[in-house]
Amino acid sequence: MELTKTVAVNGIELFVRERGEGPLVLLCHGWPELSYSWRHQIGAIAEAGFRVVAPDMRGFGRSSAPQPIEAYSIFDLVGDMVALVAAMNETKAIIIGHDWGAPVAWHAAQFRPDLFTAVAGLSVPPPWRGKGRPLDLLQAAGISNFYWQYFQKPGVAEAEFERDVAATIRGMLCGGFADPARSLFVPEGRGFIGRSAATLPLPPWLNETELAYFIEQYKKSGFRGGLNWYRNIDRNWDLTAPWQGAQILQPALFIAGATDPVISDKMNGKHVAAMEKVLPNLKNKLIIPGAGHWIQQEKPAEVNAALIEFLEQVS
């Protein structure tokens, strides 16, 4: 049976879903998602003999959402997961992340190899610290309308997304990153979502009840917390300078959808192809045909099988 509760960690409170007994597995969701995004994985992994804990991450859902942008650095986000392991009265965990949760998982393994014994990332490849701050490099390349840049000024994206939360969530999950033809660049004067979001049909992997849960939670929480993760992109580059060129030595797994625009752009495409340089103990690099960005919701059977096989190998 799945339990839900709120736990105090790292100066905030996290709402968590918990199920099962055995080695601890943390599931870190991305943006704009929730612990609910792991609904197909929690039971399956628990039934395979693991204790699964999936939080609403800092700034999302029913967890605390500090106002300061500075409260969402990669150190804060990893610190939450370190404290969550302790709050579960455990000393070791396997950490798995999707989308923004993937950098949290990768960095958790990199920062605390004593605590996180294995790591899996979905949709976003492992840390690849480039030659300069990401936003600075975009600007230097003459790019000014990438979605990361659109999210930077507090209040702008919030106003667009909160004007019609139902249309926003439908647009994100049914279009947005789910659509390989969708540009990650924001047309001048149009916003990120697009004007047809409210009428997009649901994909086969999402029903109206599931969509309604995301909408209900975001109507309550708003979008500022999650957007603040993006507002630390350059700061995270500064903070992670000591790990320049560092490898993640623990057993690792990578899963992504073949049509995911996040891995098909020029930068991340190179990182996916060469991730063994960062992950010398990579057990599997699974690219699932016909799948997009919301991989664990789109292809739960394939994702669950790969995760459970990995977990049984490393636990």
Catalytic residues: 99, 293
Alpha-carbon distance of 192 to 207, in angstroms, equals 23
Contacts for 144-147: CB closer than 8 Å, 24+ residues apart: 145/185, 145/186, 145/187, 145/188, 146/184, 146/185, 146/186, 147/184, 147/185, 147/186, 147/192
**Is omega for the bond preceding 32 within 30 degrees of 0, making it cis?**
yes
Task: Determine phi and psi for 118, rounding to 5 degrees.
Answer: -160, 160
Alpha-carbon distance of 7 to 38, in angstroms, equals 19
User: What's the start-to-end Cα distance of the chain, in Å?
Assistant: 22
Return the axis-axis angle of helices 156-163 and 165-174, rounded to nearest 10°.
100
Alpha-carbon distance of 191 to 181, in angstroms, equals 17
- The token pair that represents 215 in the structure block: 């909408």
Give CA separation, 114 vs 55, 243, 313, in Å.
22, 16, 18
